[in-house]
A = this chain, B = another copy of it.
Amino acid sequence: MTPDDGASEGLPADGTLLTARGVRSRAALLAAARHLFESKGYANTKIADITEEAGRALGSFYTYFANKEEVLEQMAEDFKSEIDGRLTELDLTSAEPYDVIRNLVSVYWSSCRDHSAELAAIFQASMLDPRFAQRWREIRSDARKNIAAGIRAVGQAGLVQDPDPEATASALGSMMDYFCYVWLIEGGEADRSSLPDDVAIDTMARVFYRTVFAAPEPAPGPGKQ
């Protein structure tokens, strides 16, 4: 669950393998970038900031990455596989549909919380660089498809019909993406600056469930997250 594990040991730009020292440096740079992307934002972070934060010389950055985009690329990759991994582990056979939805929302929220740097950076980059807009579309595409499939399944079960499951999935996905961004990165709304995890999760789950089932969610059992 630490942000630094997983796929990010990575490789230098040219595909060569790294020495132990190299692995350490690369990790230090990624960690520094993550930290800065979160605190100052992707666009406002200079390469020099990253190397300074990592305690490395400016030039060392280029031993491991061709440019700032490549750092984000790497982080986005890790972010996606992390979420994918967590979602795969999820128990989707739960008796209660609401629990399935809540678990799903919960995984998404906590992934975003643990990777707020990545989330912030990807969001930003998607607005600055069309290449990243495309990348971000791809990353979220699986999630959209799964939601749409769920909506369709509910329709085929004869429960509630949705005239355009993909559009609805896009709306629900947008809700989750931006709600997470607002509360985890941007610092909340005008008169409230943060949300407890369970409130955030319940809120998203509620919107999600009601949208799909057009009915009230079951009364809550005792607390979770």
The chain A residues found within 8 Å of chain B, CB to CB, are 41, 43-44, 120, 123-124, 126-128, 133, 137-138, 140-141, 144, 160, 162-164, 166-168, 170-172, 174-175, 177-179, 181-183, 186-192, 195, 199-200, 202-204, 206-207, 210-211, 214-217
Contact = CB atoms under 8 A, between A and B. Distances in A.
Contact of A179 (B170, B195, B215): B170
The binding surface of chain A is classed by DSSP as helix
Given A189-B137, A210-B214, A216-B160, A203 B127 contact: no
A183 to B, nearest CB: 8
Given A41-B128, A174-B178, 11 more contacts: A41-B127, A120-B127, A126-B186, A133-B187, A137-B190, A140-B190, A141-B191, A160-B216, A166-B192, A167-B200, A172-B207
Contacts of A204: 171
Contact of A189 (B144, B178, B206): B144
Contact of A43 (B43, B192, B195): B43
Contact of A207 (B178, B182, B207): B207
Contact of A178 (B128, B144, B177, B206): B177
Nearest to A200: B167
A200 B166 CA distance: 11
A138 to B, nearest CB: 6
Most buried by B among A137, A138, A162, A171: A171
B167 A171 contact: no
A192 B219 CA distance: 37
28 contacts: A41-B127, A43-B127, A133-B186, A140-B189, A140-B190, A141-B189, A144-B190, A160-B216, A162-B206, A163-B202, A166-B192, A167-B199, A168-B207, A170-B179, A170-B203, A171-B175, A171-B179, A171-B203, A171-B204, A172-B207, A174-B174, A174-B179, A174-B181, A177-B178, A206-B211, A214-B215, A214-B217, A215-B215
